[in-house]
Chains A and B, each alone.
Chain A
């Protein structure tokens, strides 16, 4: 029985075996794709791989990574969160306004505020989905408008500019610790913590269960309501945190900030191999997906495409990734069927 598996990998020469193992993991195929795309870019512009450029790319995707990880947990549980941009905007605006009004408040507290607000907004989402039993797409469609509207109400229509915020706050993302910017550190901390959560805690694994087979999960005692609620609280928290960082990084808080950002978050997840049906995907993949997007965006000028091509290129890459993922899955099912006959 198990022998059938082993027989397959023993087939073929070394190169075939290596590629079989690699292609088996979605993340690995993404790495390969990334490498493949990098080749022509680096050839055309060798300084693409310079330290400053890499540093720029990673800084660019730090916030995206945090947000994508939040979206990841929701998609993992077989849902979707469209209120991303609005939660970022509200917490970002709140942080900015607090900084403007009370410049002596420490940066740590500003970040905490954003995170806390995000958690509350996520909790509302979670309550509606888990207890109100409203499908996530409708819930977040509604809260997307509500939170964005609340942002306007909070700001009374105005916005916060760089001059109105303290250099402590705006400069924070760029502060360097051990050669790495604070922004990247924030992202790294989030990645490490969420990775631990998703691999080494019961609740984290139960999210996989609910997303993969909710009936079976309930059968073994997983509390569906609790998990669905928790998932939105996590995403809301991460979005809120990202919101404060956003305001600091871009040194501005405007009402329209992060509009449409849900697209990028979901794109990073799709590229990272997260399955829309739920139950499959991993944090490393999501981060890779975000990295992929970052490289793409950064590479546009290298291939003489204006930044106006960004949306189009992203969309095409996501579509390509979707098609590839689907076809890979179909091939795997076919292989399994062939195996059965080989008994």
Chain B
């Protein structure tokens, strides 16, 4: 008999300028796998951060087994039995699997207080066997694959006697076989009465393994229910809740000649035999699940990482960048995924950020010219409608949306021929999102070739003239705007089309 384990009511969270969560509800029972569904920016990760004690809620209640919870820090959450499976950032790479699981609560011999390695190793072995994993407890985590590290995280959650396990896109970097392993583990946890909050974009997963679902949109609670009683369409409806046409102002494309051709590009461990072509005025979408290799391909095109094989041409001439400056010299701009670490320099002013890529050309013999810089800043800053107290304000005071506008202004200022955008609307409020889409269409209309990496299907469908789908480093499909539909793209992204197509 399943009892209510965790109840969240009216959960609200404010950040300066953004209402991340607005009276959100969530109910999770024992022995239940509960899908938390929503687009990027719907509020899922904020919710998770509150549940794990990283953020404090502005309002609302969290109740577990009848008791109201008030976390002061991450440890409180853990002790209450809520554990989240993080990405790699929370492992100790130089330490063994055993130690990663036991750090913070090592077992000790009762009398001498000496660490009981034998005991810990045995218990870890048991845990791993329970999950049917053939990992040696003494292996150093740095020698494990991504999938194995995930599994160790799960084992760690179990060792902490977690009652609620939160998994955030757990299958993003796994092979089909590893995904099956994960499902098996999830089912086992369910049998043991644990509750799993399962965050995923992939509908087959949700329908395969989840019992209940809750949908969030723009920080609001939209609905919940039994997975068995609903359908993909219904869920998508709840997720999007709006007509796609309004969201993405798609201008009639004016597609010109080929400007970039990539042939059999490979990078060890990231992607292989990637080929596609890009035309002037075209918006080429790149879809795939996390870990598909899209960002890695773009980083190679932009000259950040080296390639191990293949070739590229721009405008017909061979292109082999020695670094980002080289790519920029060829007219390529790159709006990276990690806005705060790669896109803007937080401690510098908006003006300095915008002028950074073209600083050389704004200087006479290397000497900076404040007047010229201000002109450039104004031109592109106003073009992007950046809202701030002044151009001298530091970038870290801006909201995420405005920061992204700074990044866009910075690159548009270089007059690129090719503009690569990596998840440009991730974590941004709806208004700015629409503005970015409008802007991208405009750029394409003026003849700039645009590559748009996105994990949001609606965005890809709405914006792209063509779509390249990647899966685990391979290009699995290329679709025309006329032929693309959600299901086919998704299947290609899951690797279910065996042929790799060359666009």
Q: Do chains A and B touch in the complex (CB under 8 A)?
A: yes
Contact sample, A vs B, 5 pairs, CB 8 Å cutoff: A2-B136, A200-B114, A216-B90, A219-B74, A280-B94
The answer to whether B92 and A208 touch across the interface, beta carbons within 8 angstroms, is yes
Query: B102-133 CB contact bits vs A (8 Å, 1 = yes)?
Result: 01111010000111010000000000000001
Q: Identify the stretch in A110-118, A132-140, A183-191, A331-339 within 8 Å (CB) of chain B at 4 or more residues.
A: A331-339
Q: For the complex, is A4 an interface residue (Cβ under 8 Å from B)?
A: yes
Query: In the complex, which residues of chain B have a beta carbon less than 8 angstroms from the beta carbon of A206?
Result: 103-104
Query: Is B95 on the interface with A (CB-CB < 8 A)?
Result: yes
Cα distance A299–B91 in the bound complex, in angstroms: 43
Q: Which 10 A-B residue pairings sit nearest by Cβ, starting from the closest?
A: A337-B269, A220-B104, A2-B134, A280-B94, A216-B90, A221-B104, A212-B92, A2-B135, A200-B115, A200-B114
Using A5-B143, A202-B115, A213-B93 as known contacts, list a sample of 5 further A-B pairs with CB atoms less than 8 Å apart, ordered by residue number in A.
Answer: A205-B99, A205-B115, A208-B99, A209-B103, A218-B74
Residues of B within 8 A of A208 (CB): 92, 94-95, 99
B106 to chain A, nearest CB (A): 5
Cα distance A213–B89 when bound, in Å? 8
Residue of chain B at shortest CB distance from A208: B95
- Inter-subunit contact B133/A2 (CB<8 Å): yes
Chain A residues whose CB sits within 8 angstroms of the CB of B151 once the complex forms: 1
Within 8 A of A (CB), among B127-171: 133-136, 139, 142-143, 145-148, 151
Given A212-B95, A216-B90, answer yes or no on A202-B135 (Cβ-Cβ < 8 Å). no
Is B114 a contact partner of A1 (Cβ separation < 8 A)?
no
Residues of A within 8 A of B133 (CB): 1-2
What chain B residues lie within 8 Å of A218 (beta carbons)? Answer: 74
Mostly, the B contact residues are loop
Is A163 located at the chain interface by the 8 A CB criterion? no
Cα–Cα, bound, A221→B269 (Å):
34
Looking at the assembled complex, report how far the CB atom of A38 sits from the nearest CB atom of chain B, in whole angstroms: 30
Q: Confirm or deny: A215 has a beta carbon within 8 angstroms of a beta carbon on chain B.
A: yes
Please indicate the chain B residues that have their CB under 8 angstroms from the CB of A3 in the complex.
134
> A201–B113 contact, CB under 8 A?
yes
Residues of B within 8 A of A264 (CB): none
Whole-angstrom CA separation of A186 from B168 in the bound complex: 53
Q: CB of A341 within 8 A of chain B?
A: yes
A279 with B92: CB separation less than 8 A: yes
Nearest-Cβ distance from residue A224 to partner chain B, whole angstroms: 12
Which residue, of B99, B103, B134, B268, has the highest number of chain A Cβ atoms within 10 A? B103
**B379, chain A: closest CB distance, angstroms:** 40
Complex-state Cα separation, A206 to B94, whole angstroms: 13
Chain B residue with Cβ nearest A336: B143
Contact flag A338-B268 (CB < 8 Å), given A2-B135, A200-B114, A217-B103: yes
Chain A CB within 8 A of B499 CB: no
- Asked whether A202 lies within 8 Å of B90 as measured between CB atoms, the reply is no
* B148 touching A1, Cβ below 8 Å: yes
Q: Is A56 an interface residue (CB 8 A)?
A: no
CA–CA, A200 and B142, complex, Å = 22
Determine the distance from Cα of A217 to Cα of B145 in the docked complex, in whole angstroms. 21
Give, as a whole number of angstroms, the nearest-CB distance from B306 to chain A: 12
Within the complex, what minimum Cβ distance (angstroms) separates B145 from chain A?
A: 6
Task: Given A1-B133, A1-B135, A2-B133, verify A340-B269 contact (CB < 8 Å).
Answer: yes
Indicate if B415 sits at the interface (CB-CB under 8 A): no
* Complex Cα gap A15–B125 (Å): 30
Closest chain A CB from B79 CB (angstroms): 9
Residue-wise interface mask of A (271-302) relative to B, using a CB-CB cutoff of 8 A (1 in contact, 0 not): 00001000110000000000000000000000
Kindly state whether residue B272 has any CB partner on chain A within 8 Å.
Answer: yes
Q: How far is the CB of A252 from chain B (nearest CB, A)?
A: 41
Complex-state Cα separation, A196 to B95, whole angstroms? 17
Residue numbers in A under 8 Å from B134 (CB-CB): 1-3
Do B91 and A216 touch (CB < 8 A)?
yes
Q: Whole-angstrom distance between the alpha carbons of A202 and B102 in the complex?
A: 10
| CB of A199 within 8 Å of the partner chain | yes
Which residues of B in the span 17-66 have a Cβ within 8 Å of any Cβ on A?
none
B75 within 8 A of A: yes
Interchain CB contact under 8 A, A213 and B115: no
- What residue of chain A has the Cβ atom nearest to residue B268's Cβ? A337
- Interface of chain A residues 60 through 87 with chain B (CB within 8 A): none
Known: A1-B178, A2-B134, A215-B90. A340 touches B95 (CB 8 A): no
- Chain B residues, Cβ within 8 Å of A156: none
In the bound complex, how far is the Cα of B95 from the Cα of A219, in angstroms? 16
Q: Which residues of B contact A219 (CB under 8 A)?
A: 74, 90
CB distance from A6 to the nearest CB of B (A): 9
> Nearest Cβ in chain A — how far from B179, in angstroms?
12
C-alpha spacing A336/B144, complex, angstroms:
8
Q: Does B175 contact A (CB under 8 A)?
A: yes
Tell me the complex Cα distance, A275–B494, Å: 40
Tell me whether A213 and B90 are in contact in the complex, defined as CB-CB below 8 angstroms, given that A201-B115, A220-B104 are known contacts. yes
Bound CA span A233–B147, Å: 40
Q: Which residue of B lies closest to A1 (CB)?
A: B148
Residues of B within 8 Å of A222, CB to CB, are 103-104
| A143 → chain B closest CB, angstroms | 29
Q: Is the CB of A215 within 8 A of B89?
A: yes
- A10 within 8 A of partner (CB): no
Complexed CA–CA distance, A280 and B92 (Å)? 10
The answer to whether A334 and B145 touch across the interface, beta carbons within 8 angstroms, is no
A334 → B minimal CB distance (Å): 7
Q: Do residues B139 and A5 form an inter-chain contact, with CB atoms below 8 A? A: yes
A2 and B91: CB pair below 8 A? no
In the bound complex, how far is the Cα of B139 from the Cα of A336, in angstroms? 14
Asked whether B269 lies within 8 Å of A213 as measured between CB atoms, the reply is no
Q: Which of A196, A212, A220, A337 has the most CB of B within 10 A?
A: A220
Report the nearest A residue to B102, measured CB to CB: A205
Contact in complex: B92, A213 (CB < 8 Å): yes
Residues of B within 8 A of A280 (CB): 94
Q: Are B75 and A221 in contact (CB under 8 A)?
A: yes
Q: How far is the CA of A206 from the CA of B143 in the complex (A)?
A: 21
* B90 CB contacts on chain A under 8 angstroms: 213, 215-216, 219
Given the known interface contacts A2-B134, A5-B143, A213-B90, the answer about A202 and B108 at a Cβ–Cβ threshold of 8 Å is: yes
Most buried by A among B94, B106, B136: B94
